[in-house]
Each structure stands twice: as structure tokens, then as C-alpha cells.
Structure 1
Amino acid sequence: MSIGTVLGQLRAEFPDVTVSKIRFLESEGLVLPGRTPSGYRQFTAADVERLRYVLRAQRDQYLPLKVIKQQLAAADRGESPGPRGVSGHRPQPADDGPRSLTRDELLAATGLTPATLTELEEFGLVKPGDDGTYDPVDAELGMVVRAMARFGIEPRHLRAYRAAADREVGLLEQIVTPLYRQRDTRARDRADQALRELASLSVALHTLLVKMGLRRVTGG
């Protein structure tokens, strides 16, 4: 089926999805449609289910694309259940690393308005590179920001998140910097591992603290 047909099937559950968003997910390797002899994308029913899985994971669980991609890869290898029609072997594209996005691509992928993106830049939440392009993580952040906007949360309200994250990064930097400065070639591997573990623990701690704080709101 064509990308337009896919869009029509997804719109009922995901009214904000666009052709550009589907193309962005394809560029990130989350869905791999075939091509007709003339070069047009040709999606299968399994591709549509794969897209539903990705969009639901973003909307309902706020999972980053990297995690969703890992889940799908595990399902492709038969190591875990995935979306209907996804499990089983599936050809994987060559991993050339994350691809930077132009401003227009970022706006199309996230659904942000140019004004909102400008605000995010002004508040230090998103920052383009020297060449004016954006990291894929900026797209993930933009999707979260857009979801939070449904509750009336604006970019200016997110400065506290940025400040808190910077403080956490500063603490982790103090811990691992001595390891990175060692000349032992294995020290960098230890530093990388320590940083990954600390980052994971920091996220877990932050989540627990928020849950504990919300008990005051819910009375639980």
C-alpha cells in the first residue's frame, strides 16, 4: 500500500501523524517499506502494525526512539514479543549512525510550530549544531514537548527541567572525569560503563522522586 493509504489507516488513532513523520521514522530505521520498480514506497500490513507500535510507545510511554528500535530489533530476532506481524526475522538497514535533521525536517517530524521551536532554542532546551542541523534526540524531545503542550505546559515552564538536568550532568561529570583523564586505555571503557550506569540510576531516582511527590497531589 502507498504512504497515503498508510496515513489514512493511522489517522483514526493518531490524528496528528503526517507523511513527514512516517518518512522520519523510516529514516531512523523503525520501519522499512519496500519499493516499487519506479521507486515509490510500498508498505505492508506488518509495516502499518510496526508504525502503530512505535507511535503508541511514544504517545503512551514516552519512550525514546532508540529504546523503541531496540524493542523492535529484539522482536525481529524472536527474542521478545512485538507488535502483531512484526516478530520474526526482518532485514535491517546498515547502521550509519544517527542522521542530523534540518530545521524543516525537525518541524515535520515533531509537529512543532516554528515559534515553539524558537522558544525551545531560546530556553536552551534544543540547540542546533554549527551547521544549523539538529540531533535526532532533539526530535524526540520535541515530540515530548508537543505532548506536554496538550496539558498547557509551555516551553518557558520547562526551564526547571533543563536546570535540574544540567545539575545532574554536572554531578556525573565530576565522578567520571578522573577516569577519562587516565592514560590506561581500559579506563575509558570503565568510564563509559560507569556513565551509562549512573545515567540509568539518575533517571530511575528522578522517576521515583516524582512519583513520591505526586502522592501529595493524589493523596495516595
Structure 2
Amino acid sequence: MPGTAVFPHASGQAQLLGIGQVLALLQPEFPELTPSKLRFLEEQRLVSPARTAAGYRKFSRADVDRITVVLSMQRDHYLPLKVIRAHLEAIDAGETPALPGATDATTFLAGARRFRRDELVQAAGATHALLDEAVSASLLAAAETYGEEAVGVLRSLVALRGVGIEPRHLRGVRAAAEREAALVERAIAPSRRSDAADKARAAERALELAGHLENVHVSVVRATIARLAR
């Protein structure tokens, strides 16, 4: 699904997709996406899929792009859904609001672009071999298309390789991330009931906690490097 995201709600009847097709498109990059999560996004007025006469949800390509933007804003900027909804509603109204915690709407829209493997390697100034090594080291997922975040990761790996730091040396990063994810999982466990909406809210809370962990991690790394440089 390459190209810049478009925000209008579903329009027209061409190329409407069922929930299963939407999951097949987006789960490679957003493995946490489930049917319950899609229904929760609709409940929160972040996407408005069409309905068949039998009541089945049908998503347009614009809906899929919108979902991609929502999930990217959650993952990359740890924004709560109410903030994302307000931001997208402003864009729907023809405004160009600044993205909370980032630069501006135009910059973020570019971030909704999807990259095939060849495009990803070219955009990052990398090689296919480096991408394969990053996937092998679990630093990037194996997928047919990638988002802007993957471009940033691969560019960083190019820079690190320039000083002799290879993807295999960073396997500990993945291990540390998994330990931190386990902490978050335990923290939200009491709020994860059987209700689909509760699970979706718990997932949103997990992303917020991930943002706090990232802040702590960056601070500790910077402080450690500063101490070593003295």
C-alpha cells in the first residue's frame, strides 16, 4: 500500500475490503491489530467503515490508510486515541494542525508511506544484505512492506555499521525490549478482561507505558555515554 495516506472516510463502493483482508494488509507491520481492535477504533470514531445490508463492515482504501495513520501515531508517538481523534478531525475539517509531540501534519502524512523491500533499502541507503541481517537479528520484522519507522531503523544500522557495529551485536536490544514489554504486560494484566473494549483500552495503555519506558531508556543511555566521555 505505497503512497501518502488519505484521510476521507469510506467513499464509493470500489475495492471495499472485509475485516480479514484489512488484517492481512496491516498485521505484518502492526501484529497487535485484531478484529476487536478494529471494532474499538470504530467505536472511538477514528474510522467509519461502510456496512453491507447484512451488517458486515467494509473498508475502503482510504479507511485502511486512516487506520495505518492511527496505529502509526500510537506506535511512533505514543499518543492516546482521543488526541489522535482530535488531530484527524481537524485534518478532516481542512486544517493543518501541528502533530502533538512531533513536527506538523504534512511531515507525519509523509510518514504514512509504505515501502516495498527495494524501496526501503534505497530510501535508507542500505543493502538487501543489511536488511536481511536486521530481520535475522529481530530488529525489523519480515514483511512485504514497511513504514517510515523502518527507514529510520535501517538508516541507523547503516551508520552503526560504519563504525563496526553490526545487527548481530544488537541482539541484546531486542532482548531488553522483550523484558520491558513483559513489565508492561504484567502492569496491564489486571485491566485485561474478556470484553473486547477492555482489551483495546489495555492495549492503548500499554503503548502509553511504552512511551514512558522509552523516555527512561534514552535518559539512562545518554547519561551513561556522558559519564564514559568524561
| TM-score (normalizing by structure 2) | 0.49
Contact residue 121 and residue 127 of structure 2 kept, 8 A = yes
Contact residue 114 and residue 146 of structure 2 kept, 8 A = yes
- CA distance in 1 between counterparts of 2:98 and 2:176 reads 39
1:32-111 equivalences in 2 (<5 Å): 76-77=96-97, 98=112, 100-111=114-125
186, 192, 198: which one aligns with 1:180: 192
2:133 aligned with 1:119: yes
Deviations 1:43-75 (A, max 9, x none): xxxxxxxxxxxxxxxxxxxxxx966xx9xx999
Tell me, which stretches of 5 or more residues in structure 2 are unaligned? Answer: 6-74, 78-83, 85-89
Q: Check 1:167–1:66 CA distance in 2 against 1; reply closer, same or farther (3 A cut).
A: closer
SS at match of 1:181: coil
Contact residue 127 and residue 134 of structure 1 kept, 8 A = no
2:229 aligned with 1:215: no
Q: Check 1:167–1:140 CA distance in 2 against 1; reply closer, same or farther (3 A cut).
A: same
Deviations 1:150-201 (A, max 9, x none): 333221221121111111112212222442334273x235413421221111
SS at match of 2:184: helix
2:188 aligned with 1:171: no
Q: Check 1:105–1:217 CA distance in 2 against 1; reply closer, same or farther (3 A cut).
A: same
SS at match of 2:138: coil
Q: Check 1:212–1:79 CA distance in 2 against 1; reply closer, same or farther (3 A cut).
A: closer
139, 150, 153: which one aligns with 2:162: 150
State the AA in 1 paired with 2:161. A
Greater RCO between the two (CA within 8 Å, min separation 6)?
Answer: 2
Contact residue 102 and residue 134 of structure 1 kept, 8 A = yes
Tell me, which stretches of 5 or more residues in structure 1 are unaligned? Answer: 1-23, 30-64
- CA distance in 2 between counterparts of 1:176 and 1:213 reads 30
State the AA in 1 paired with 2:175. A
Contact residue 172 and residue 195 of structure 1 kept, 8 A = yes
SS at match of 1:210: helix
State the AA in 1 paired with 2:128. P
Contact residue 115 and residue 146 of structure 2 kept, 8 A = yes
State the AA in 2 paired with 1:191. A
| TM-score (normalizing by structure 1) | 0.51
2:221 aligned with 1:201: no
- CA distance in 2 between counterparts of 1:169 and 1:144 reads 22
* Number of aligned residues: 144
Q: CA deviation at 1:149?
A: 2.8
Q: Check 1:161–1:118 CA distance in 2 against 1; reply closer, same or farther (3 A cut).
A: same
**How high is the sequence identity, in percent, across the aligned residues?**
29
